[in-house]
Structure 1
Amino acid sequence: MRIWLSVLAVTVLSWLLKASAPLIVAHHKLPASVIRMTALTAPVLLAGLIVTELGGQEIDWTQLAGVGVAGSLGVLKVPMLVAVAGGIVATALIRLSVG
């Protein structure tokens, strides 16, 4: 339940940040670097929440490896369903090989 509340909070915060920008800068054009940086805010916060939730009391490195594989596939523009499946398969294979 806590993770869903965190995701909801990040979503609302992202919407507020995106909605407040036009109100604040009104008729000013923002530099491209600022636009790129603010576009990455929500994914970075969500990644932090995922790693924190996976960490919990004791870090399961196989889960972190699976999330890393899924994230890497996402960066390579693989469809999301395939990226998630790749992360699941990587986690399962690591757990099978380690025992």
Structure 2
Amino acid sequence: MSLWFWILAACVISYATKFAGYLVPAKWMKNERMSRIAATMTIGLLASLTVVNAFSTGQQLTLDARVGALLAAAIALVLRAPFLVVVIAGAAAAALLRLAGWG
């Protein structure tokens, strides 16, 4: 099978999943338990994506400037900095670490 078949299949699956979300009854979504589950899943997915992107290259674990950037951003978050400051702190830390030859 060609690459285009898989691209189209992924598009159809993605659209069907989004459409299925509209078919869920509204009263299910107003349930407190469902809201808590959805919020928890969102946080878990974001955390796992962050860890995978910060600590891996391909299928290998890597410690490079991304770890320092994540640490700088985490410190900025703990200090309750605005989101833009968090992003700039992470980018600056990564740039400085790469300039120093650590990644």
TM-score (normalised: structure 1): 0.53
Q: Are residues 1:52 and 2:52 paired?
A: yes
Alignment RMSD, CA only?
Answer: 3.6
AA matched with 2:100? S
Runs of at least 4 residues off by over 6 Å: none
AA matched with 2:57? G
For residue 23 of structure 1, the aligned residue among 19, 28, 37 is: 28
Are the equivalent residues in 2 in contact too, given 1:66–1:90 (CA < 8 A)? Answer: yes
Q: CA deviation at 1:82?
A: 0.6
Q: Unpaired runs of 5+ in structure 2?
A: 1-13
RCO greater where, 1 or 2, for CA within 8 Å and sep 6 or more?
1
Across the two proteins, how many residue pairs are aligned to each other?
79
Q: CA deviation at 1:86?
A: 0.2
Q: Unpaired runs of 5+ in structure 1?
A: 1-8
Larger Rg: 2
Cα distance between partner residues in 1 of 2:86 and 2:30: 37
TM-score (normalised: structure 2): 0.51
Give the share of equivalent positions with the same residue, in percent: 25
After superposition, the Cα gap between the structure-2 partners of 1:43 and 1:71, relative to the gap in structure 1 and judged at 3 Å, is farther
